[in-house]
Every structure is written in structure tokens, then in C-alpha cells.
Amino acid sequence: MTTQSKFAIALVSIAALAACSNSRPVAETEYNDYRYKGGEQGKLLSDQGLVLGVGKNTGDNGARDTGGALGVNAYLWRGALDTLSFMPLASADPFGGVIITDWYQPPAASGERFKATAYILGRQLRADAVRVSIFRQVEENGRWSDAPVSQVTVGEIENKVLARARELREQSASR
């Protein structure tokens, strides 16, 4: 079993145990560093405890979330999937809003590979509701080692996700 699998199992177990608890959460001010930006809708912690995607957030139309739909903005979710579709998909959690790709080696760049993680952080179609992390490795003497990624590249990928999400929203509105 890989380390990543063990971590995923541990995370799911902790979330399941937390959902069973009737105790009050620790004061929210202690978690300020872990909250997503975006005010009331972007909170990671609510009055009912930890919110992992589906909570009491409101949708784009202001109605309360009933918990039956995606926990994140559907246009941003689909935009991120479409934008990163050239890379092999390792994991996708539509309720938590996380997309993780596997390593991708461009045909034109031997000795270099990339991996991406996209986070959809809210239910509104906003620029601050999507974060992308790009990881790059280069091959040196038969071993892969981490290499820096330009912030311009990360920004371009985030902008492509936003542009695709807006395009999808426009297509949906015209139907």
C-alpha cells in the first residue's frame, strides 16, 4: 500500500469520526489560518463543525444548499477537468473540490514531467475560488528531482480554468 493510499485512508477515517461527534468545535478563531477566503461562504469551519465541500453554503442564486449537488461551483469544476484533461487523472473529488493528476511527460520535453492539483474553493464562479498547484520534476542521472515552476505558468493555468468555466456558463445560459 502506498503512502498516498495510507494518507487517504487516514483522512477519510478522521472525517468519519469527526462526523459522528456531538461535541462543539474548538473556537473558530483558532482556525483562522485554515479558513478559505471568501467570508461566510468560504469558511472551512461552520457552527456545525468542519465543512468538507457540502455544507450550509448558498449557491449562486442565494438559495440554501440541500446537500444533493456538488459542493463546489460546477462550472469551475468542469473547467478544471477540461483544462487539465491532457494529463492523466489520478483522483477527483467533486464534493471536496480537489482534482489531482498523475505525472505527465510532454512528448517534446524528455527528461521533464509535470503533475497538477486543482482546488475549487467555493460555490461561486469567482477568480479566488480556484487554486492550481503545478509540480515539476527533471531527470538527472536516471533520478527525478523537484524543480521550480514559474508562477506565470500557474497563473496561466488558473486563467484557462476560469475562461473555460465562463464559457461553460455562457453555453448553459444560451440553452
In sequence order, what DSSP letters do the residues of 14-72 get, joined into one string? HHHHHHH--SPPPPGGGGGGGSPSSGGGG-SEETTEE--S-SS-B-TTSPBP-SSS-SS
Place of cell 465562463: 166
**pLDDT above 70: residue 106:** yes
CATH 3.30.530 region(s) of the chain? 74-173
pTM over 0.85: no
Confidence class for position 52, pLDDT limits 50, 70, 90: very low
pLDDT at residue number 27: 38
Helix (H, G, I), strand (E, B) or coil at 137: strand
Spatial contact of 35 and 3, defined as CB atoms under 8 Å apart:
no
| Averaged pLDDT for residues 22-28 | 40
CATH tag, 74-173: 3.30.530
Report the Cα 73 to chain-centroid distance in Å.
11
Query: Percent of the chain beyond pLDDT 70?
Result: 60
Q: Considering only CA atoms, give the Rg of the chain.
A: 18
pLDDT at residue number 35: 36
Average pLDDT, rounded, for the chain: 75
| Averaged pLDDT for residues 103-121 | 94
The contacts of residue 150 (CB under 8 Å, 6+ apart) are none
Residue 146 β-bridge partners:
137
